[in-house]
Structure formats: structure tokens, C-alpha cells
Structure 1
Amino acid sequence: MNDEVSFRDFEVFLAFARNEHFVRAAEELGVNATTVQRSVRALERKLGVDLVEQQGRRVRLRYAGRVFAREASAVLRSRADAVATTRAGSGDPRLVLRIAHTFSLGLGFVPDLLSSLLACHPDLRFSCHQSSATDVVTHLLRGDADVVLGSAAPADPDVVVRPLFTEPLLLAVPIGDPLTRYAVVRLRQARDRTFVAMAPGASSRTHLIDACARAGFVPRVTVEGSDPFVVESMVGAGLGVSVVPGRMADHHHPLVVRIPLADEGCHRTIFLAHRKRAAAAPMVRALTRAAVAHSGG
């Protein structure tokens, strides 16, 4: 009887499986709750297997339901892959969302975000470009990206900018540095040190210069790097200290210690931005909702 199971059966059941709630699944699908309930019950009859069970006032997935949800997701993803591959082969990029993001967000935030999106929307595909905050904005403005995630907010009337979260800036020092004995430091404690920094124009360089200015000194930058991983490698080699974004803590460097800064204003805000005309695109809306939820907004 398995041949009677349709792709629509898969889609409706996965919506229920994500929510374990008929009403919320119906809202996601744009139908009424009775339709979802009947579809799930009909699917059980087709399979000859109980997929859900009543627990008090709640309806929960049985083990068989979790197995079916996993397999159904794989089937729908294979179908989406086939469609996307065919369209890509014909030059149709409609299923590909182009995302540009900063280096540090590529460690944990963006991969986790895309993973949660694919779990709900297996038809989505992504093309990611990783660079400095200023460069990802350039990608958006010249049309090479649909959505950008970074710490530089584009100043363009045709761009929608949404703040997602604020994160602290950290002082990166070599392992064994005297400052590592402190749980928190003030930036002026490093005023006589040499600094490693991103190249001029990068937002991380601006954050460093501004933070040092608030602490009352101009940093002596002796080494410049092309990305924060290079910067931290230079710090680990003992070439200086640096100010790095909090998201770098998602990456372990065995020769670097990152120390919280007590100075006022030592933080940065992460933004999501896209063109106004993209606001109605389902993929952009889905990504925006997921990014806000993922950032605790």
C-alpha cells in the first residue's frame, strides 16, 4: 500500500512532526486543522502503522512517526535536489539563496541557522560567501548577494536592515600572557603592547580603533591580517594582541586566550540586510524569521 503515499502526505506529516500540534501545522501549511488531522489519519491507514498517539490533551509522535518523518524528509530533500539540479543545469537559480556573511559568523551562527532552515524547508539551497563586514555589504549593493549577515549596516535607502543581536568584543592575547591571570581586563592594560589587526576598511579594524580611542590611546598596529583567523594566528605566534568579536569564541585556538573587556561600548551589533524588493521573496522571509528566532529576537 506504500505506493498510495504521495508527496503531499509527506509534506503534511512533516509539518505536523515539526510542531506536534494540528493547529500550528495547519497554520504553517495554510489549511485548517481538520485537514491536517484527516491527512495524518489517512496516512496511517495507507501505511497500516500508527504514527501518532494521544497523551492527555496532546498528540505526540510515536517511534514509527519519528522514523517516517526522518525518511519523508530525506525523500523530499532528494526530490528538491533533483529539481534544483535540473533547474541549475538550465541556468535557473530560483532555488538558490545567496548569502554573504562575516568570517566569525561562519563558525557557528550561519551553519546552525541554515541547518534549522533546511529542517523546515528542504527545498531551499544556499550559496555562501564569507568575507569582511564591509565586503559582504558590497556584495549586497552590487547584486551578488540576496541577504547579508554582518556588523556593518548598509546606508542605502533601498536596503532593509534588521538588528539581530549584540555581542561583546574580546581581547585576544597569546597563551601564557600576564593578562591571562585576569578574568576581565580593561583595554588600557594593553596600551603599551603591539597590536595585530585586520586591514584598514574592515569593520573589525574600526571596532579596534574605536575601542582603543575610548580607552585613551592609539594602538600601535605592527601586523595586519586578511581575516580574523589569520589575526589570531599572529597573536598566537606572539606578534601582538588584538580585539576580536565574541563569536570567535566558537573557534578554539590552542595558542590564544580571549579575555572579556570591561570597557564601556566594547561590543558590536550584528545585522541582517537585504534589498527592499526582496522582502516579499519566500526564501528571504524564511531566512529572516529563522535568523531572528536563532538570535533570540
Structure 2
Amino acid sequence: MKIDEELTLKKIQIFLAFMRCGNLSKTAAEMELSNVSIHKALHSLESALRCPLFKNEGRNLIPLKSAYVLQEHAQKIVQEISTAITKTREASGFAAKVLNLGSLYSLTVNTLPNVISGLKLRRGELDIQLLLSSNLDLVKKLKATELDAIIVALNETTQDPAFEHLPMFEDEIFLAVNKNSHYADASEIDLSLLKNETFLTLAKGFATRNDSDIIFEKAGIDPKVFLQVSDIFTLISMVSSGVGLALLPGRISTIYENSVKLIPLQQPYKIKQDIGLVFLKSKERDPNLLALIAECRMFTQNKKSNL
């Protein structure tokens, strides 16, 4: 059966509102339309169906049996459409009950606990799934829509026209040494003098590894790398044990603070890391994402006020 193009969902919604309200004025108020618009919509619906739905008694429209039949089935249709829209939006990750968030291991020290706890207060029903990995891996998963958003270092890996960025804070890279190291008392360090030292690094793809390579190149060092690891906590533990030196961001200063010292680098070896939220522009109106954006902004404001 061919459905008349004049038979629209909007007219069905107006019809159902009229059947609930019982008169034009109440229906117009509910639908935020004029009485004339309601009347025209109902008359147009009758034309599209090619059968009467109401009879006139003075200025009143009295539903016929056909109107009650349409009401029963139209309610089911509107409910099915609403369910279809919800399921479709959830399938695309929009306003789903689960938020898939990716981030760096180093941000679990302070940033993520604050952001996630605030987000749970905003949207208590939301289930947050957290994935920790390297900058490069998280960016790939975001682009493949396996993640809804990531909190990472903003660098060349996040430069994509499909992405939106929200900068959160700036961090600095330091030389991390064991507290008993002869470098531990230095107020700052000339990295070019450490060509013969043993270093520990993160694996390729991590933002801190990328920054370390840039710093080593500036210092003219081809570092003796004793060990590469895939998480920053293992790296800090190795430094704490005196296995070697490492270049690490200042945000991890509270980890092993009794056994690891972070020493500022001399110019021109200083380098900053910009940390921020990254998400797809196509999802920027997602309610879950809007709540996450608001919480990241709140974290940034609180961090600035504590400086």
C-alpha cells in the first residue's frame, strides 16, 4: 500500500495530542502551535487517510470510531519510532548508557580520578569504561569510534580535522633519578652531559617517549636504553630501584616521591606537554560527551585556582 506523502509523523503527533487533550486550545498549548494550525493538521490528516476522523458539533470536533482505531495504532507507531531512534543513537555511541573513555597511565594519578568522580555526580546512571594505553593507540581507537573520547597529550598524533580538542593543562618533562643518585641534589640538569648514562624509556607511541626522543636529539644524545616498558608505573619503579634514569612528566611527582627525584632540565632541553580532551566533532552534541566536557573544564578551572 502506497502511503500518502501528506501523512507525516508531525501530524500523527498532533492528532494524538488532540485525542489526549480533547479540544483545539489545549492541544495548541501543548504543541506550541496556533488553533488554526492544529485544525489544518487534523483536516490534512483526514485527507491523507482518505477517511473522516471527526464530526463537527458546533465548534467542537468529536472523534469517530476511525479516530480511536487510529489512536490505538498510532501510539504504537510513535513508540516504535522513539525506540528505533534511541537504539540507533545508542548504536552510534550517542547518549548511550556506557561512555568509553581512553587515557594515559600517568593521568590516573590525579586527573582521571577527579574527572570521573565529577562525571559520575553529573550522570550517575552512566557506566564509564576506561582504557589505558599509549597516545598513538588511543587516537587510532578514537578515530575507529571504539572510544567516545580520550584524555591524552595534544601533539601531532591528535591533529586530525575530524577531532575537536579541549586543552586542560600544561605539564613539563623532568629528569627522573633515584634519590640516592649523585644527580639528586642538582637544581637543574644539563642533559647533554649525560651521554654515558643508562636510560629507561616507554615504548614507541607513548607521548612521553615521543617527547623524550625530541629532547635527546636536542641534547645530541644517542641514549643507552637499558629497558623499554609499556606503562609509566613500571618505568618509575625501575628508576626507584636505581636501574637507570628516565625523562618523565611532572604529574607523576607524587609516585615514589620518597625514592625518586624529578630534576628540571636546563634550556634548551625544556619541553612542555599539553594535556587535553579529544573527541570526534560528529559527537560534540552527545549528552554524555557534553557532561564530560563540562567536567574537564571544571578540572582545568580548579587546577588554575590552585596554582
When the two structures are superposed, what TM-score results if normalisation uses the length of structure 2?
A: 0.62
Letter in 2 for 1:222: F
Note the residue ranges of structure 1 that are not aligned, 5 or more in a row.
1-86
Letter in 2 for 1:124: L
Runs of 4 or more consecutive aligned structure 1 residues displaced over 4 Å after TM superposition: none
Among 197, 200, 211, the residue aligned to 2:201: 197
CA offsets, 1:260-292, max 9 Å, x none? 223344221112111111100111111112112
Q: Secondary structure at the match of 1:196?
A: strand
Match for residue 70 of structure 2?
A: none
CA contact (8 A) 2:135 2:205 kept: no
Match for residue 117 of structure 2?
A: 115
Q: Secondary structure at the match of 1:122?
A: coil
When the two structures are superposed, what TM-score results if normalisation uses the length of structure 1?
A: 0.64
CA offsets, 1:42-67, max 9 Å, x none? xxxxxxxxxxxxxxxxxxxxxxxxxx
Match for residue 223 of structure 1?
A: 227
CA offsets, 1:215-247, max 9 Å, x none? 232222121111111112222222210001111
1:248 offset after TM fit, Å?
1.1
**Sequence identity percentage:** 25
Q: Secondary structure at the match of 1:197?
A: strand
Match for residue 11 of structure 2?
A: none
CA offsets, 1:86-134, max 9 Å, x none? x9xxx99822111000010111101111112222332333111111111
How many residue pairs align between the two structures? 209
Match for residue 295 of structure 1?
A: 300
1:254 offset after TM fit, Å?
4.2
Q: Secondary structure at the match of 2:274?
A: strand
Match for residue 249 of structure 1?
A: 253
Match for residue 261 of structure 1?
A: 265
CA contact (8 A) 1:209 1:219 kept: no
CA contact (8 A) 1:150 1:271 kept: yes
Question: Max radius of gyration: which structure?
Answer: 2
1:253 offset after TM fit, Å?
5.1
How far apart, CA to CA, are the structure 1 residues paired with 2:256 and 2:178? 13
1:180 offset after TM fit, Å?
0.7
Q: Secondary structure at the match of 2:221?
A: coil
How far apart, CA to CA, are the structure 1 residues paired with 2:228 and 2:221? 19
How far apart, CA to CA, are the structure 2 residues paired with 1:226 and 1:293? 30
Match for residue 53 of structure 2?
A: none
Match for residue 164 of structure 2?
A: 160
How far apart, CA to CA, are the structure 1 residues paired with 2:99 and 2:201? 32
Q: Secondary structure at the match of 1:164?
A: strand
1:294 offset after TM fit, Å?
0.7
Among 269, 273, 290, the residue aligned to 1:285: 290
Letter in 2 for 1:236: S
How far apart, CA to CA, are the structure 2 residues paired with 1:250 and 1:116? 22
CA contact (8 A) 1:102 1:130 kept: yes
Letter in 2 for 1:167: D
* Pairing of 1:74-113 with structure 2 (within 5 A): 94-113=96-115
